């Protein structure tokens, strides 16, 4: 049985004070959300502890945006899975296109991070997707299949979420047509050994397009950047019809 998960990716946004303000408005706004869906907030490291304390008794689960593969050591600027676990993190985004593009993340380092997250009991959200140039060159499938092939070596598919995020759709307002996202997600599913993996779509999801996206049979949720920063917008997304 595939689980529906709506996850917000705040990227490098929100101080602790802004986080508390968000939660105060978001919690009541999702009171009526059906309980068939998981709700996750993937926030900056500095917001994790305070958010964790303020999520008790709510359906919201805590997520981070990166995790290192070593348990401890001289890795300035990185964070371990145990450190995330300690503050109540359950999900962690791995291999987001911004990490791949700006911070030298490769399929190999993505794989290391996925395995470290799982070893500590976290559920990674693996991001895959193609650039506009790759799409125009008909390389979408090849690129994604390679990301999966190299990224999923030794990864337990029973403790995994995948987000299909066409890079050209991220933060651009240029959403992938829902039937095309559905098609690519179906192809991704065909490469997996576990039929129950939740596969989300990500890329300019907003309150106006979420219902159509979530009506697609292969799409099990959304990874939401910009629209997850506003409590009313993200609440509307979480409460999709």
Enter the DSSP assignment of 227.
Answer: G
Contacts of 103 (CB under 8 A, 6+ apart): none
With respect to ligand PEP, which residue has the nearer C-beta, 11 or 236?
11
Does the annotation list 186 as a binding residue? no
Q: Is 225 annotated as a binding residue?
A: yes
Among 124, 203, 221, 231, binds ligand PEP (CB under 6 A): 203
Using CB under 6 A as the binding rule, whether residue 226 contacts ligand PEP is answered as: yes
Helix-strand-coil split of the chain, %, nearest 5: 40, 15, 40
Q: Toward ligand PEP, which CB reaches closer, 44 or 171?
A: 171
Per CB under 6 A, 205 contacts ligand PEP: yes
Work out which of 225, 234, 237, 238 binds ligand PEP, going by CB under 6 A: 225
Element (H, E) at 62: strand 60-64
Q: Which of the following is catalytic: 96, 98, 105, 218?
A: 96
Of 132, 129, 130, the closest CA to residue 162 belongs to: 129
- Taking a C-beta distance cutoff of 8 angstroms, is the pair 114, 124 a contact? yes
| 96 tagged catalytic | yes
Among 9, 140, 198, 200, binds ligand PEP (CB under 6 A): 9
Catalytic residue among 98, 105, 130, 165: 165
Minimum gap (Å) between residue 163 Cβ and ligand PEP: 7
Q: How far apart are CA 121 and CA 85, in angstroms?
A: 8
Q: Which of 241, 240, 233 is closest to 10 using CA atoms? A: 233
* Residues tagged active-site: 96, 165
Q: Using CB under 6 A as the criterion, which residues of the chain lie in contact with ligand PEP when the complex forms?
A: 9, 11, 165, 170-171, 202-205, 223-227
């Amino acid at each position: 049985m595939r689980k529906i998960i709506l996850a917000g990716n705040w990227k490098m946004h929100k101080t602790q004070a802004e986080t508390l303000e968000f939660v105060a408005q978001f919690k009541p706004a999702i009171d009526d959300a059906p309980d068939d869906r998981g709700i996750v907030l993937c926030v900056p490291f500095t917001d994790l502890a305070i958010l964790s304390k303020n999520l008790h008794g709510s359906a919201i689960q805590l997520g981070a945006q990166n995790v290192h593969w070593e348990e401890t050591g001289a890795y300035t600027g990185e964070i371990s899975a145990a450190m995330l676990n300690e503050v109540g993190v359950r999900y962690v985004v791995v291999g987001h296109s911004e990490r791949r593009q700006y911070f030298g993340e490769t399929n190999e380092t993505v794989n290391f991070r996925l395995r470290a997250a799982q070893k500590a009991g976290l559920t990674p959200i693996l991001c895959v997707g193609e650039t506009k140039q790759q799409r125009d060159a008909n390389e979408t499938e090849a690129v994604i299949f390679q990301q999966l092939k190299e990224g999923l070596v030794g990864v337990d598919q029973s403790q995994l979420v995948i987000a299909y995020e066409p890079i050209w759709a991220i933060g651009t307002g240029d959403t992938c047509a829902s039937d095309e996202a559905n098609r690519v997600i179906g192809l991704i599913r065909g490469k997996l050994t576990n039929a129950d993996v939740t596969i989300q779509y990500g890329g300019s999801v907003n309150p106006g397009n979420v219902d159509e996206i979530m009506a697609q049979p292969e799409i099990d949720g959304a990874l939401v950047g910009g629209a997850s920063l506003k409590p009313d917008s993200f609440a509307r997304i979480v409460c999709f019809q």
